[in-house]
């Protein structure tokens, strides 16, 4: 009996829920940060979802989600071409346009999911868009069947008598996207992973961890829990409410499994949840804290982040050439 096929992922599946978003505008109203640091949440009337004109600092350091997706389309096209030269017809996963570009929204805000209609799930395709934004435009997986892995990763020198590029098709495509200048950049930042944006993802996770351990955030979560209890819902925190197993069947995580109707109970819980987040100021406080912690981490690691951004800019330009429109965005 042969070994089962292996999946090689051209993405990093993040182990924590990221609270930020890719490509939200610029700047956060200073008043919100100031009030957060005074230890009290902003007024409940503050609109968050996301805040008008407000962004997380990391957004200023990254390409747009559309540019990230352009890099992914180029990566898959170049991979398919390389494998075809070796006589391999390797199907590529689709790179779908994001229908809900604000899918990650402001931290701890449910508004863009329209909880009164769609509960925690959001409209059709919303959860897939959350994933796409979280992994910077990448698809979920590129499946390389076992017999072809050597050609893909370069662990063989030839495939069916045809020379395999150094590093396999994966290495060839990385070189095409990076360009020689990018290869040098990779060496300087010591990052040999396929995707160079993991530094941003790691910063997001670190900032998120700081928010979750902040006493002000924990107090706001406790206030939220009391608000929910008054509405007839018992949860320790917002993560427990969103992750309630009763809602799991309404969210599809595969293309083959359709999203099921959202229950009335889920909608009622999500509506109360959203209202309580507003009442206790949790949305604005979480956003303000995350912005501040991200800014602190950026100041500490700005030199490396600039190098990562330069590498990504090179990939954006290379992607345009691979896709057949040198210098043009597509």
Please indicate, yes or no, whether the overall pTM of this predicted structure exceeds 0.85. no
pLDDT 10s digit of each residue in the chain, 330 long? 333 333 333 322 222 222 222 222 223 333 344 444 444 444 333 333 445 446 789 989 999 999 999 999 999 999 999 999 999 999 999 998 888 876 665 567 888 889 999 999 888 888 888 888 888 998 878 899 999 999 999 999 999 999 999 999 999 999 999 999 998 998 888 888 888 999 999 999 999 999 999 999 999 999 999 999 999 999 999 999 999 999 876 655 555 556 678 999 999 999 999 999 999 999 989 999 999 999 999 999 999 999 999 999 999 999 999 999 654 443
Helix/strand/coil percentages in the chain, nearest 5: 55, 5, 40
Task: Please state, in angstroms and rounded to a whole number, the distance separating the CA atoms of residues 92 and 95.
Answer: 9
Calpha distance 85→168 (Å, rounded): 12
pLDDT of residue 118: 93
Q: Which residues contact 206 (CB under 8 A, 6 or more apart)?
A: 293, 297
CB neighbours of residue 213 within 10 Å: 9
The pLDDT of residue 84: 97
Q: Which residues contact 264 (CB under 8 A, 6 or more apart)?
A: none
What's residue 279's pLDDT?
Answer: 96
DSSP per-residue string spanning 222-233: HHHHHHHHHTT-
- Output the pLDDT for position 239: 92
Would you state the pLDDT for residue 248?
78
DSSP 8-state symbol, 196: T
Other residues' Cβ atoms within 10 Å of the Cβ of residue 120: 23
Helices (H), 99-167: 115-118, 126-134, 149-153
Full DSSP string of 260-282:
PPPPHHHHHHHHHHHHHHHHTTH
| Residue-level pLDDT at 250 | 61
pLDDT of residue 296: 96
């Amino acid at each position: 009996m042969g070994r089962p096929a292996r999946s090689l992922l051209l993405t990093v599946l993040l182990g924590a829920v990221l609270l930020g978003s890719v490509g939200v505008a610029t700047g956060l109203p200073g008043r919100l940060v100031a009030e957060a640091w005074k230890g009290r949440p902003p007024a409940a009337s503050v609109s968050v979802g996301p805040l008008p004109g407000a962004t997380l600092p990391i957004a200023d350091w990254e390409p747009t989600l559309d540019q990230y997706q352009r890099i992914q389309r180029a990566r898959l096209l170049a991979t398919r071409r390389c494998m075809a030269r070796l006589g391999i017809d390797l199907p590529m996963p689709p790179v779908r346009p994001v229908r809900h570009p604000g899918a990650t929204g402001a931290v701890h805000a449910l508004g863009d999911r329209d909880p009164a209609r769609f509960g925690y799930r959001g409209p059709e395709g919303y959860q897939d868009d959350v994933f796409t934004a979280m992994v910077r435009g990448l698809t979920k997986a590129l499946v390389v069947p076992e017999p072809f892995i050597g050609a893909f990763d370069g662990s063989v020198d030839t495939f069916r008598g045809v020379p395999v590029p150094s590093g396999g098709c994966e290495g060839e495509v990385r070189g095409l996207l990076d360009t020689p200048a990018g290869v040098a950049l990779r060496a300087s930042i010591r990052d040999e992973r396929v995707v160079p944006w993991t530094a941003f993802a790691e910063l997001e996770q670190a900032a998120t961890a700081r928010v979750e351990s902040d006493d002000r955030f924990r107090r706001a979560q406790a206030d939220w829990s009391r608000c929910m209890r008054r509405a007839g819902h018992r949860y320790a925190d917002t993560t427990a409410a969103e992750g309630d197993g009763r809602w799991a069947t309404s969210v599809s995580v595969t293309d083959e499994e359709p999203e099921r109707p959202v229950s009335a109970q889920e909608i009622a819980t999500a509506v109360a949840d959203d209202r309580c987040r507003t009442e206790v100021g949790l949305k604005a406080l979480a956003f303000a804290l995350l912005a501040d912690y991200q800014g602190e981490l950026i100041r500490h690691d700005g030199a490396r982040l600039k190098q990562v951004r330069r590498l990504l800019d090179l990939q954006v330009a290379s992607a345009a050439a691979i896709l057949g429109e040198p210098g043009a965005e597509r």
